[in-house]
Amino acid sequence: MIGVLNYGAGNLGSVMNALARLGLPAQFVTGPEELQVRRGNNSGSSAGQQYSAIIFPGDGHFATAMEALTAQGYTEAIREWIAADLPFLGICIGLQLLFEQSEEAPPVQGKEIPGLSVIPGRVKKFQGPKVPQIGWNETKGTSRSRLFQNLPERSFFYYIHSYYVVPAEEDWVAAEADYYGTYCSAVERGALTAVQFHPEKSGALGLELLRRWAEVYHVS
């Protein structure tokens, strides 16, 4: 069973519909206690967990989303799940919130609004006359990525965003796209994967990416 985080962000229905089309059982996670990591598991094993994997979707404002996660008690539960190397997929704002800080959430009275700080790096705003980026964009997986292996050489996914992630360490980068310059559009390490685009809105190729994610990380 896949758990889809329901913390008040949008786009949850589209994700659930995509999983249903693939025959992947899923339900909404409605509280942080459902993410409790069963101690004694081997790293990377979901045996004994309520869910075999977690999907962290959503769209919206960085600070608003972090405030919602904090108010609902999700922040530490998400960190512990990822630290246990259990399958996790972030989508759109679910990628950006994994980073340390975003230009979308500037300091308030000199105090920064931090992200989950799972991935070292920051989130920056595109510099160009046409922001946000809305529409299809070619996405190229890196040689280190398991998720993007065997996808078509020219793979297009659907994007809608004004900000992009900048990992502090290059080996986090799993895929890149180009919009006013090349930027990181997906990250991967261990069982943690996150993408800037919306696979659930990217037609047949988006469904194939979700199917491959389930296959690579033994999600059922």
Identified catalytic residue from 104, 161, 184, 200: 200
Reply yes or no on whether 184 is catalytic.
no
Q: Can you tell me the distance from the alpha carbon of 100 to that of 102, in angstroms, rounded to the nearest whole number?
A: 7
Tokens describing residue 43: 């790293």
Q: Which of 16, 1, 187, 173 is nearest to 94 (CA)?
A: 187
Q: Which of 184, 25, 3, 17 has the alpha carbon at shortest distance from 89?
A: 3
- Across 151-181, b (16+ Cβ under 10 Å) vs e yields beeebbbbbebebbbebeeeebbbbebebee
> What's the per-residue H, E or C state across 1-28?
CEEEECCCCCCHHHHHHHHHHCCCCEEE
Q: What is the DSSP letter of 42?
A: P
Q: Known catalytic residue: 198? A: yes
Catalytic residue chosen out of the listed positions 92, 104, 184, 188: 92
Per DSSP, helices labelled H in 6-137 are 12-21, 62-71, 75-83, 93-96
Catalytic residue among 67, 198, 208, 215: 198
Q: How far apart are CA 157 and CA 185, in angstroms?
A: 10
| Contact partners, residue 1, CB within 8 Å, separation at least 6 | 25, 26, 27, 50, 51, 52
Residues serving a catalytic function are: 92, 198, 200
